Every structure is written in structure tokens, then in C-alpha cells.
Homo-oligomer: A and B are copies of this chain.
């Protein structure tokens, strides 16, 4: 979640890479790193320095085509032989590369390598579809009006003139006018001879009021922008949307300024309960919001006064802190939030740096631990409209689970602990530069292939990397189904240190931290407990509604973490039930997606009230079977191996292979 970049990325140009002797072909974007391409193809190349050419182990031979870089750190002799360091090579054409035998002690490797990584396929808002279906009806509209100029025979009050005209010529009814508009109306009407643009906020219910929140002289209807924002515990993402064209004009994310007062919601709540803590946290989140706004407004090349609405989605604690509502009762049984629905309010009222007419819309939540971010994901993903029985999961320190379809939904949340975010792991870290995010192993030598964020020397392990590492260690028999190391394997990478068994991922010299980077049994145990909590949460919820895990027809993974996790690996460790990849949707930032969709179409805002009512909340602490499910899930992947038939098959094949 640290990738604060624009929507950008590589060019659309694709190249094919053929790996020999595996004879595996993969298509990649131009400029892709060769190690990453190998990882994606399921081809193992020893590599442990992350891409800095330090370890020098990832040499391959270019047989055809063009690679860029990759030879800088090699001796002339190696260059002449056609060697490249894979970790430093960028793909510049269709290529054929040969992996030297040193990385393939046994050809059997070719067959039992991990299945290819599933690239995150983020479901995007289909804006064109919205427009085609006539659904581009934002909650805030602008109307250009040429009012009749008053005379002594027609000297109605300015507000009456405006309302009468809207009623008669625009068939607008149930209108109310904000006090701020009344305050400015005499001067604004007369700035451009009674030609004005009115900004109208549509009601949530069709029988509600249409609220006139702003008036501008002249015709400004072509300038109607919205902001969608995800208020995450860790990161705040914002986008500027053009409500006329349906385009996203800019995007930016930054760390939530509250982060120095606690990493997770519980520590934030505890800080909020201290003297002055609540207002400090409120101020900090608003500061970050304003920082993000400043960036996206500048990048979109608009004026802040042209923004008519800001839709915010966050979990219940983030929402309460944003409004300076004491969140203390969220963390104490019986876990009661202040509210699930919030009325629209003026964004400037809480210090958000927008015009006084900009309306803030907060996504409603369901309960203390199933908040507006999850509801936004349910709305944005279209889960609320599907017939398919869907398992929606947002994986993080707190994992939220929604099960259901358009007719019913059940939801719950469980505390997975911080393992997925690198917490409680010896070398755990956030998904920042230097974090090991991908990993494979030579099944004979047990030598690793490591990919780091930013292709720099490793500093530690992020959550998605941890899942991959544990899955790979398990599938290759380095650990058993209780996460204990096989002490009999012939490798110096598995060792005991001060009574704790561990695997050395990166030797000290190839790291940034001048220490061996390892994964220990306690680390693995932490991960097992985290994934066990999530899986058993889903199991318990299913059981409560009389279904089984095998009934699931579709999985939606939301959240930044969900976008990075390797689906196959998550199934290998039993974090997710085994499901065909085509039935899994990586939603990306569901919270931002829902906020964006609601900004574009008021229909979503109208539906969300019903959806929230439909979502039945279960407290796992109140469900006795949860503990049983949890204990059963404290294995890799689970005590019930029949839920994981494909994995069973692969493991049988490996044993017999």
C-alpha cells in the first residue's frame, strides 16, 4: 500500500519470453524485469539479492532478442559467453533465454515448480457502461438558468424567482435552498444579468428534498468535479472525477497522518481515549485529506471551488475519528458504533479544504468492524447485484468477510493480528521498497529465488511475501502442516539459532541490513494463526447461514493486500478456499471504488441504504463454533484436506515424483 504513484505503469507493448530448457513461454510488458518474468512463468532462477547484482547467482544466457542492462556487473569473459544477470535485465524484444544447469540440478524441477502467479486483475468501473445505461447521474448536478430580470411589476424575492423558474422551466420540485446560498444570492444573480448556474444535491430517497447548495454567475455546468476518497487506517487515497465526462482526472495516496499514534485501529482508539487524543487524531486525518486534495486538485488542473462533492469511505473507527466521535465503544464489548448512517454535511465544517458548498458524503457501515470501506466494496464490486453466492474478503490486521448475493448478505470481522502487514514477524515490514514480495525455491538445493519491491537489496518480508514464502516452504516439504521445519534436509539455510528453527532467505552480504534475513517457526506460527482466524471466520459465517465452503461460487478480494497476494499461494496455506482462478476477482481498493461509483451515480447512494439493512452482522466472539473452526484451521492448509483437492493432488504427485 506504499505505492503512492499516479495511475501509470508500463507501456502496452507486449513481448514473449521463452525460458529454456523448461520450454516455458510467457508474455510480458515491454521493460519487465527478467527475474519477475521467470517468477511469473514458474521458472526458478537462484536469486537472493533482490536485483542489485550483488549475489551474482541469477546468470542466464540470452539466446535470441534484446535485453537491456544485465551485463554491467559481469566480467568481460562472462559477457562474451552471452551471460546476463536476470535480476538486472529488462526485456526489450521477444527473447529466448536459457537458465544454466546450476539452477536446475534436476529436470524434475521443471515439472513441480510452483504454479504461475496470478496477476491481479482489478475490476475497473465501467464508466462507458454507466453512461450508455444512462446511469451517469451524479448526486450533485449543475443547472444553467437564464432567469427573467426583475421589474417593478415582477419584483419577487431573489430566492422565489430562482425557485419558480426551476419549477416552471426545469420541472424541479421539492427544492430547498441553503442559507449560504440565500446569503449570496442578491449579488450573484446580478453579476451576469440573472444568468446563473445552480448546484443541486439530489436526495437519497426519491421523495427527499433537492438541495440548492451553490450559485455561480454565468454558465459553469462544464465544470463539475467530485472527489472520491478512501480513508484507510494506513493510507488515504483520493481521486478527482469529472462528473460530465465520467473520467478520472488524477489520483494520489499518502499515509494517514494518524499513523504515528498507532498502527492499527485499536491503538488509535486507545490514543483517542486519552486527554486531547480524539481531536489530535481528527486533525491529523483532515491534514492528510487536505494534503491529498491539494495534490489531486493540482494534478487535475481544476480549482477547489469547482469540486461539488467529496465521497469518503472508511472503516467505522476511521469514520468516527474523522468526525471526532469517541470511538471507545467500538473496542469494548458489545462493540457498538455511534451510527451506521451519516447525513450529508458541508465538507468545510470538519476542516476539509473545499468550498463551503462542497457536500461531504460518508459511506454507511454495518457495525463496529464492518464499516463503510467494506460496504463501498460490496457496492463497487457489484456484489449487491449478483446472483452468485459470493465470498467477499478484505484481508488486513482486521479481516472483514461478507457472504451472500443480491438477496441476502451476512458479514463479520475477525482480528487476524498484524502478520499480514508484516507485524509480529522477525523480519516483517510493510510492502515498501526492499520487501521480499515473491519467492520460489529450488526443490533440490533449497536455494531461493527472491523478488523485492523496487528490485533493491532485501530489507525484510511483507505480508504477501510471507504468504508466498510459507506456501513455497510447505509445498517443497521444508515445513510440515504444523509449520515445523524438516530438520533432516541437507541445506545450511535451515538452522537452529538460540533454540528456534529458521530458514535463511538472504545471507547478510546480500541484504541492506547487514544481517541474515530469515523466517522462523514463530513467524510461521503467527501466519498460521492469522490465516486460521480468517478462514475460520468465513467457515463460521457460512455455517451460521447454513452453507458450506464448497457452495461459494465467487471470491472477491478487496484491499491493497488482496491485490498483491498470490492467489495460488493463499490457497496453498489455506487462507482462501481452493477455487478456480477465474472465479476470483481482485477488486483492488474496494473502498475507493465504491466511493467513486457513488460519486458518478446517485442510484448507488439510493441502493446503499437497503444494502446496509440487508447485511446481517455476526459477532464471532458470540458464536461458540468459531473456536472449533479456528483450531481446525491451525494447519497448512487445514485439518480437512478434502477442501483442498488440487493441493492434495500436487503434494501426492511431489511425493511420488
Contacts and interface: CB of A to CB of B under 8 A. Distances in A.
Given A150-B334, A187-B326, A329-B190, A339 B182 contact: yes
A622 B153 contact: yes
A227 B190 CA distance: 36
A160 interface: yes
Nearest to A613: B160
Contacts of A343: 176-179, 182
A340 B185 CA distance: 13
Interface in A414-462: none
A336 B619 contact: no
Contacts of A336: 150, 155-158, 161, 186
A339 B157 contact: yes
A159 interface: yes
A186 B326 contact: yes
A187 B159 CA distance: 40
A547 interface: no
A159 B340 contact: yes
A286 to B, nearest CB: 15
A370 to B, nearest CB: 11
B619 A341 contact: no
Nearest to A182: B339
Interface in A328-345: 328-329, 333-343, 345
Interface in A613-628: 619, 621-622
Contact of A152 (B323, B324, B334): B334
A189 B280 CA distance: 24
A114 B152 CA distance: 45
Most buried by B among A328, A334, A368, A622: A334
Interface in A365-397: 367-368
B183 A323 contact: yes
B335 A155 contact: yes
Contact of A621 (B151, B152, B186): B152
B621 A157 contact: no
A145 interface: no
A95 interface: no
A367 B325 contact: no
A339 B341 CA distance: 32
Contacts of A323: 179, 182-183
A186 B325 contact: yes
Nearest to A160: B340
A453 B594 CA distance: 72
Contacts of A153: 622
A448 B337 CA distance: 79
Interface in A228-267: none
A242 B384 CA distance: 51
A155 B620 CA distance: 13
- Which of A161, A176, A179, A326 gathers the greatest number of chain B CB atoms within 10 Å? A179
Contacts of A367: 155, 157
Nearest to A159: B339
Contact of A159 (B150, B176, B335, B341): B341
Contacts of A186: 325-326, 328-329, 336, 338
Interface string A167-205: 000000000111100111111001000000000000000
A184 B153 CA distance: 51
A342 B179 contact: yes
A340 B157 CA distance: 6
A369 to B, nearest CB: 11
A157 B333 contact: no
A310 B122 CA distance: 54
Contacts of A182: 323, 325, 338-339, 342-343
A185 B325 CA distance: 8
Contacts of A184: 325
A339 B340 CA distance: 36
Nearest to A350: B179
Nearest to A211: B343
A201 B349 CA distance: 22
Given A179-B342, A186-B328, A337 B151 contact: no
B334 A158 contact: no
B622 A152 contact: yes
A621 B151 CA distance: 13
Nearest to A346: B179
A185 B320 CA distance: 11
Contacts of A335: 152, 155
Contacts of A325: 182-186
Contacts of A185: 325, 338-339
Interface in A588-621: 619, 621
Nearest to A323: B183
Nearest to A341: B159
A339 B177 contact: yes
B339 A158 contact: yes
Nearest to A152: B334
A403 to B, nearest CB: 20
Q: Which 10 A-B pairs have the closest CB atoms?
A: A159-B339, A155-B334, A152-B334, A157-B337, A157-B340, A182-B339, A186-B326, A186-B338, A152-B622, A150-B334
20 contacts: A151-B334, A152-B333, A155-B334, A155-B335, A155-B367, A155-B619, A158-B337, A158-B338, A159-B340, A177-B339, A179-B342, A179-B349, A182-B323, A182-B338, A182-B339, A182-B343, A185-B338, A186-B329, A187-B326, A190-B329
